[in-house]
Amino acid sequence: MASEETLIVDCDTGIDDALALLYLLGDPDVEIGAVTTVFGNTDADTAALNTLRVLELAGRPDIPVAVGARSNWRGGSHLASYVHGDDGLGNTNLPAPTAAPSSEPAAELIVRLARQNPGTVHLLAVGPLTNLATALLLEPELPRLVKHVTIMGGALRHPGNVTPAAEANIHNDPEAARIVLQAGWPVTLVPLDATMTEVITEDHQRRLAATGSPVATFTASILDQYFDFYESTVFGERKAACHDPLAAAIAVGDVEPLLAPVVAVDVDTEDGPGRGATVADLRGQYRNFPPQEGATVRVVLETDRTFPELLVDRLCSAAPARRVA
């Protein structure tokens, strides 16, 4: 990660968000300035408590956590306890955190940090994009202030995972996603096309469990719930896609995509069967993706499928939790 960058992680802390956070926290060169939470895998308030639990596990209770949108722009929300467990963390029921969330709303925190640190903030969004869209309304200059935005979401050549056309993060708030993807700032979109090919397995889980450190033991335990879901509904065996951790690794430069054209991306906001679909002109893939005028979204379509090893290496090598005075 560039030394002058500060990450703001916007998440709906369930299992893969926790893996992404612990992956980032395991790198001393990555600076996380704040974490903001949104509805999605669980409700926004539980996501904040889960984030604080994860930060304390990693010895970083000093990182501020702000609660954001509890519903989408239409006032609804769809939570995924059937994927992430009733507590959002694989029903591991970690103790309540000692720290509390900030009183500052998520979107306001994003705007404040961007104003205070122009040109250095990198937004990593791995949940619905409601907080980012709200921040854009609060500060129309945000695209000029923010250095980069990395988003886990969407499906271009791959089927959706909540409808045939739509991926969960985008489908949870298509209106917000459209605003964010068309704001004109530099975006890296990490869709299902890439994340569904980077798969963590039971062999990885056994290695984590055998390591015995608090971080490795915790991540091994939360994978049980994740594997249950993926075995019964997706792969037919105990393994899972690395959605949010892959986006985190791409954001900090640990994974270099093999195929990632810069294209204009739109989102279907109508009420038909395509609602929440991400739409881009990929016809140029057979002739080296000629530049598209005004396009600002780099869409990651292919990676080398070795990321799970990097993820597990990082989680197994995590230092024991330390307390920050």
Determine the Cα–Cα distance for residues 123 and 188; give it in Å rounded to an integer. 10
Record the tokens describing residue 120, joined without a space. Answer: 């250095």
Active-site annotation holds for 243:
yes
**Active-site position among 10, 16, 243, 268:** 243
Which pair of structure tokens corresponds to residue 289?
């993706």
Q: Which two tokens mark 135?
A: 């921040």
Identify the helix (H) or strand (E) that includes residue 6: strand 6-11
Cα(239)–Cα(95) distance, integer angstroms: 27
Query: Please, is 162 exposed, middle or buried when counting C-beta atoms within 10 Å of its C-beta (0-12, 13-18, 19+)?
Result: middle
Q: Residue 27 and residue 15: Cα distance in Å, rounded?
A: 19
* Per-position DSSP letters for 228-280, written without gaps between them: HHHHHHTSSSSEEE-HHHHHHHHHTTSS--SB--EE-EEE--SSSTTTT-EEE
Which positions are catalytic? 12, 243
